[in-house]
Amino acid sequence: MSHPLRIVLAKVGLDGHDRGIKVVARALRDAGMHVIYPGLWLTPEAVVRTVADEDAEWLGLSLLSGAHMTLVPRVLQLLRDASLEHVGVMVGGIIPEADIPKLREMGVAKVFGPGTPLDEIVGFLREPRQVAHGS
């Protein structure tokens, strides 16, 4: 990488469990990435504003609340509305297997479940991206 990859990691909605996202943030930072973690209980609008303000190349959403099929589509639409469809989106947390293909069809690049090895997430982010947001 010619410059550190910039990634916003966000907890959207009312989910207050943040240990996992903090572990991922540290692993990505230790791998040389520039990680922005704006904290808990963000609205989709605040997440997209942070992505724009930080000129992020990736957005990682952590969801454990079961609201992923409501919140992720909203964030993806707001990214498109803000002309940020070039930003890659990954999702982590408790996501039922049946919802993963639906999220991928919406434009999510990757879904990581609980227990995913940290080096797998780092490796994924270091791979060149072929497609952005369903294009």
In the chain, which ranges are E strands?
A: 6-11, 34-36, 58-63, 88-93, 110-112
- Token pair, residue 82, equals 């803000």
Q: So where are the chain's domains?
A: 6-126
pLDDT band at 15 (very low <50, low <70, confident <90, very high): confident
pLDDT tens digits for 76-103? 999 999 999 999 999 999 999 999 999 9
Distance between CA 123 and CA 58 in Å, rounded?
Answer: 14
pLDDT at 85: 96
pLDDT at 134: 44
CATH 3.40.50.280 for domain 6-126, yes or no, is: yes
pLDDT tens digits for 46-76? 999 999 999 999 999 999 999 999 999 999 9
Residue 29, pLDDT above cutoff 50 = yes
